[in-house]
Amino acid sequence: MDGLYFRVSSDRQTTENQFEDLLQVAEKDGSGRNWVAIREKLSRGVQEEQLASGRLVYRVQPEVVIQLTRDCVYVEQGKSGKAGNLSAFNALL
Residues 40-56 have pLDDT tens digits of 888 888 788 888 888 77
- Pick from 72, 92, 69, 65: which is nearest to 31 by CA? 72
For the chain, the domains span: 4-92
Work out the mean pLDDT of the chain and round it to a whole number: 77
| Residue 65 reports pLDDT greater than 60 | yes
Residue 92: phi and psi, rounded to 5, are -65, -45
pTM: 0.67
